[in-house]
Structure 1
Amino acid sequence: MSFLTANWNNLALINYEINPKMLSKYLPKGTEIDLWNDKCYVSLVDFMFNNTKVLGFKIPFHTNFEEVNLRFYVKRFENDEWKRGVVFIKEIVPKTAITFIANTLYKEHYQTNKMRHAVNENGFSRTFVYEWKNDNKWNSIQLETKLDQSAIELNSEAEFITEHYFGYTKYDENTTFEYEVTHPRWEQFEIINYKIEVDFENNYGKDFIFFNETKPISVFLAKGSKITVENKKKIRL
């Protein structure tokens, strides 16, 4: 049985280029940075968790909620093939029980903050808004998209961002946890416009303050799907 099942819906993916050396202290042992066209990416990702179940059970009042995370991309070579995954610098949710479970069982870096979201449609476009409050300051991401969805092209930047199927956690300098995330290929909505008001230093520390003045290299809105998160395992190195 999967550890967690849910629907991940309306994923806003805000992508920045970064010097990979700046991520070295966050890199789990046994993994290496995964590049696309020789570029190292960090993504700010907002989305909805819906119909969430842990070990097949719904936790009352914890089935539908927002998440925002800051992540980067890694790969690990095992059994003559590359596993492509992500490392989360921080994940923010509005539910304390989710934070407790993730941090206790998966040794992730969850934090509980007040959050809200909205989806508005005017007949010509759809606008997705995600907001979260940190230190009494609201951060927001707003994406306006076309109504019709389309396939994510093979070998595209959007495919690189969305098609990573493992999570890696740096527990300490010598211990790495790995877990698999499963989902079908996603479709995307074409971006018309976007607005980002995020204090990266306040949320993620001085390592990422320069994102406050940096334009994203790309922005995507993926429709999402049902997903599973499998049980973690300790990597034997």
Structure 2
Amino acid sequence: MRVLSMDWRDVLVASWPVDPAVVADTLPDRLDVDTFDDRAYLSVVPFVMENVRPYGFPRAVGPSFGELNLRTYVETPDGGAGIYFYNLDADDRIGVTLARTLFRLPYYRAEMDVDRRGESVDFRSERVHSGVRPLEFDATYEPVGEPSRPESGSLEEFLLERYAFYTEGRDTLWRGDVEHERWPLADASLDVRENEIFRANGFDHPERDAHLTYSPGVDVDAHFLRRV
């Protein structure tokens, strides 16, 4: 059952390959690491969440704000594939509270500045949520070339074409489904001035270079959580 609609805009997916063991020890018991060419991935994803609203409501009623998350890629014993979030920092006090309550996701309050200059996006975030590790992120990113749909079997498809996320709460594993069109994707450039997202989540910064992908965005409907 659909519960929310939203527009994800100016999305950067910066994905670092890591040994699967780095990820495996951090996952709930019933989730397994999903790999591409024997590598797990940790993705840093800054973007703008626009027009967040109850399903069926007009866009004009919904707020817009920046969001920054760290995620990895998982599968379940029955073959389901999805995303597992380590953190989702957002510049919206009410939205953070609702997301933590309704979706049991690790949302944290942050103060963010997102400035668009043509195709370039300056994205700055500082966590202000009490009782958790600090997290600062400051970077500029932009697309390189025109967007197109990801090819079948490509790394881009592995990273982006996922329509479920998993979260653990109250000793229960939950799955949330989302609906949207296939992603329009372009290569990207990234200039990072500060990135504490790995340290804040207990990881060392990966040694390899990141795979960079940009999308102008998709329109999304999200469903209620269900038990796995």
1:104 is aligned to 101
Q: Equivalent pairs: percent with the same residue?
A: 21
Gaps of 5+ in 1: none
1:208 is aligned to 203
With over 3 angstroms needed to count, the CA separation of the structure-2 counterparts of 1:100 and 1:178, relative to structure 1, is same
1:149 is aligned to 147
| TM-score, structure 2 as length reference | 0.87
Q: Is the 8 A contact 2:11 2:216 kept in 1?
A: yes
Structure 1 residue 198: Cα displacement? 0.6
SS of the equivalent of 2:21 reads helix
How far apart, CA to CA, are the structure 1 residues paired with 2:221 and 2:187?
26
How far apart, CA to CA, are the structure 2 residues paired with 1:137 and 1:175?
28
1:224 is aligned to 217
How far apart, CA to CA, are the structure 1 residues paired with 2:59 and 2:51?
10
1:158 is aligned to 156
1:73-120 CA-to-partner distances (Å, cap 9, x unmatched) read 001244xxx321001000000111111111112111100010111222
Amino acid in structure 1 at the alignment position of 2:63: T
Question: What is the aligned-residue RMSD (CA, Å)?
Answer: 2.4
How far apart, CA to CA, are the structure 1 residues paired with 2:97 and 2:75?
27
How far apart, CA to CA, are the structure 1 residues paired with 2:30 and 2:24?
12
How far apart, CA to CA, are the structure 1 residues paired with 2:17 and 2:145?
28
Which consecutive segments of 4 or more residues in structure 1 shift more than 6 A? 58-61
| TM-score, structure 1 as length reference | 0.84
Structure 1 residue 138: Cα displacement? 4.6
How far apart, CA to CA, are the structure 2 residues paired with 1:61 and 1:138?
30
Gaps of 5+ in 2: 129-133
Q: Is the 8 A contact 2:137 2:197 kept in 1?
A: no
SS of the equivalent of 1:210 reads coil
1:37 aligns with 2:37: yes
Structure 1 residue 127: Cα displacement? 1.3
1:127 aligns with 2:120: yes
Q: Is the 8 A contact 1:70 1:91 kept in 2?
A: yes
Q: Is the 8 A contact 2:184 2:217 kept in 1?
A: yes
1:119-143 CA-to-partner distances (Å, cap 9, x unmatched) read 222xxxx212211013687521211
Structure 1 residue 19: Cα displacement? 2.6
How far apart, CA to CA, are the structure 1 residues paired with 2:197 and 2:50?
26
The number of residues matched between the two structures is 222
| Residue range with higher mean Cα deviation, 152-161 or 65-74 | 152-161
SS of the equivalent of 2:22 reads helix
2:131 is aligned to none
Q: Is the 8 A contact 1:50 1:64 kept in 2?
A: yes
How far apart, CA to CA, are the structure 2 residues paired with 1:4 and 1:25?
32
